[in-house]
């Protein structure tokens, strides 16, 4: 996971957060496999795409100049619940749109671009979107020891949720209230 500090990227490389489009999938699948295969948590294209189809307004691509540098997938899920890594989401029209909880399912920044503050752009876009759509909480399952990172950013472990099945032996279900702040500006997420 990325730490928050001054963005350390070349000045001629613009950072842009935008909606995921069809041309992004080869890159997203590659980024996801590099991040999660060693943990035994890689989901594959069909499952990843199904999560985006379930909630396209809460899933983002991160560009650094012309390069796909990362992505974030989030979707409405009831509190203390999370996607099954081994199954795609149901039909998009069956998604739990009444949930007041937005689940940050996946966030990845390319390995060679980590530790530069890029993940913060994705998290900020998610937070602004959650606020604009009236979500009250954001949840996630921290894997591979990333619970310490998320705790520094206001997420707390929810012991009642138990050990998230299928996410590995160190998985921790965490959540936080959507921070209060200004509404996103028009065009903030392209």
pLDDT in tens, 7-29: 455 555 799 999 999 999 999 99
pLDDT band at residue 155, thresholds of 50, 70 and 90? very high
186: pLDDT strictly greater than 50: no
If we measure between CA atoms, which residue out of 41, 123, 43, 127 comes closest to residue 89?
43
Question: What does the radius of gyration of the chain's CA atoms come to, in whole angstroms?
Answer: 15
If we measure between CA atoms, which residue out of 141, 16, 3 comes closest to residue 74?
141
**Separation CA 106–CA 71 (nearest Å):** 8
The answer to whether 59 touches 35, Cβ cutoff 8 Å, is no
The answer to whether 20 touches 60, Cβ cutoff 8 Å, is yes
- pLDDT for 3: 32
- pLDDT for 135: 95
The answer to whether 158 touches 175, Cβ cutoff 8 Å, is yes
Task: Name which of 108-112, 133-137, 162-166 the model is least confident about.
Answer: 162-166
- pLDDT for 48: 96
The two tokens of residue 111 are 């390995």
- pLDDT for 11: 57
* Per-chain mean pLDDT for the chain: 86
Task: Name which of 56-60, 114-118, 157-161, 170-174 the model is least confident about.
Answer: 157-161
Count H helices and E strands in the chain, helices first: 4, 7
- Mean pLDDT (whole number) for 44-50: 95
Give 99-134 pLDDT, tens digit per residue: 899 999 999 999 999 988 899 999 999 999 999 999
- pLDDT for 98: 67
Task: Name which of 4-13, 24-33, 96-105, 160-169 the model is least confident about.
Answer: 4-13
List, in order, residues 6 or more apart from 26 with CB less than 8 Å away: none
Residue with tokens 């392209």: 190
- pLDDT for 28: 98
86: pLDDT strictly greater than 90: no
- pLDDT for 185: 45
**Separation CA 184–CA 99 (nearest Å):** 21
């Amino acid at each position: 996971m990325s730490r928050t500090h001054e963005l350390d990227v070349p000045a001629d490389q613009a950072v842009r957060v935008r909606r995921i489009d069809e041309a992004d999938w080869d890159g997203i699948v590659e980024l996801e496999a590099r991040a999660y295969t060693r943990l035994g948590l890689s989901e594959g294209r069909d499952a990843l795409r199904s999560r985006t189809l379930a909630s396209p307004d809460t899933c983002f691509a991160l560009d650094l100049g012309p390069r796909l540098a990362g992505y974030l997938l989030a979707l409405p899920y009831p509190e203390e619940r999370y996607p099954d890594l081994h199954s795609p989401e149901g039909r998009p029209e069956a998604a739990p749109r009444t949930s007041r909880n937005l689940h940050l399912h996946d966030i990845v920044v390319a390995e060679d671009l980590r530790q530069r503050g890029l993940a913060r752009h994705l998290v900020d876009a998610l937070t602004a979107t959650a606020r604009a759509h009236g979500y009250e909480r954001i949840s996630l399952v921290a894997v591979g020891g990333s619970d310490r990172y998320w705790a520094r950013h206001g997420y707390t472990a929810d012991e009642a949720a138990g050990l998230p099945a299928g996410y590995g032996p160190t998985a921790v279900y965490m959540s936080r209230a959507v921070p209060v702040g200004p509404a996103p500006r028009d065009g903030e997420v392209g």
